[in-house]
Structure 1
Amino acid sequence: MTPTQPLSRDALKAQARRLRKALEAEGNFISHGEALELLAHQMGYRDWNTLSAKTGNRPDTPLAVGGRVRGRYLGQAFEADIIGLRSIAGGNGGWRVSLKLDEAVDTVKFDGFSNLRRRISGTVSKDGRSVERTSDGTPHLQLSLR
């Protein structure tokens, strides 16, 4: 199994707490340390120490490959899986993101023609908005971050 790219250490610890509470609700009691170990194994790492070292002290990122996101593309609402993500260095940063939409969106506003798309890619800043804009000034891609 190939390890997945971890979130921040704080996000991972919060995820372990949620896992522990979910198991506790089903009558399975584990310690926080055991929840951290389970989480590390689930993400493809040998143990929590390996995952924690891989994570480092990077800030929390609201996006991750395999995660879910909602937003608007060319003015149309969507929900999608994140299938690709690359951080952009320099300037204000941001991400190059590739999405697999739950339902296709039509990229054309002309009644006599349609162009339905289920996969889209775009570059968004840290606020989740693309620099590219439509003729009325609306960002092509807008992600709800949080």
Structure 2
Amino acid sequence: MSFSLDTPSIQTLKSEAKAYREERARVGETITHGAALETVARAHGYRDWNTARAMLPERVATPVQVGNRVKGTYLGQNFRGLVIGVQLLSNMRHYQVTINFDEPVDVVTSELFSAYRQRVTTTVDINGISPAHTGNGQPQMRLMRE
């Protein structure tokens, strides 16, 4: 079975059910967690919670995990490094990734001065490619596992 970036995870549906329950409680309506799970599952097009639970992944796939060795380009410069942080962003399509480079990377193309970075935090998609681009149209970061 394959999943797209639009496929929610079970954890996502559980979070939505919790938020739905809290929302209903604010307007004075008490519902059980089970009822909230059923409502959220139907809202996502599933017959019931058990059907959603059987069909969806437990968690959303990530491009890298903390502790992975990675390589790639950052602002056009090659690097190798260690992933020290990964966080799924609220749009459920991008990740904030923090990488500690093995060797500092000069992020300035000018011959007049340099600016070295050893640790960067950037946003990438599931393929490890930054949605932000440099002035020449290249992604700010291209990331892959070693």
TM-score (norm 2): 0.56
Determine the C-alpha separation between the residues in 2 that align with 1:109 and 1:125: 25
- Residues 1-146 of structure 1 aligned to structure 2 (within 5 Å): 57-90=58-91, 93-144=93-144
Asked whether the 8 Å contact 1:106–1:116 carries over to 2, the reply is: yes
Name which one, 1 or 2, has greater alpha-carbon Rg. 2
Q: Deviations over 1:59-94 (max 9, x none)?
A: 543411111111100111111111111012336x12
Asked whether the 8 Å contact 1:127–1:145 carries over to 2, the reply is: no
Determine the C-alpha separation between the residues in 2 that align with 1:124 and 1:61: 10
Asked whether the 8 Å contact 2:132–2:139 carries over to 1, the reply is: yes
Shift of 1:131: 1.4
Q: Percent identity?
A: 37
What is the number of equivalent residue pairs in this alignment? 90
SS at match of 1:121: strand
Q: Deviations over 1:88-111 (max 9, x none)?
A: 2336x1210011000111010111
SS at match of 1:144: strand
Moved over 2 A (4+): 56-62
- Runs of 5+ consecutive residues of structure 1 not aligned to the other structure: 1-55
TM-score (norm 1): 0.56
Determine the C-alpha separation between the residues in 2 that align with 1:97 and 1:123: 6
Asked whether the 8 Å contact 1:128–1:145 carries over to 2, the reply is: no
- Runs of 5+ consecutive residues of structure 2 not aligned to the other structure: 1-56
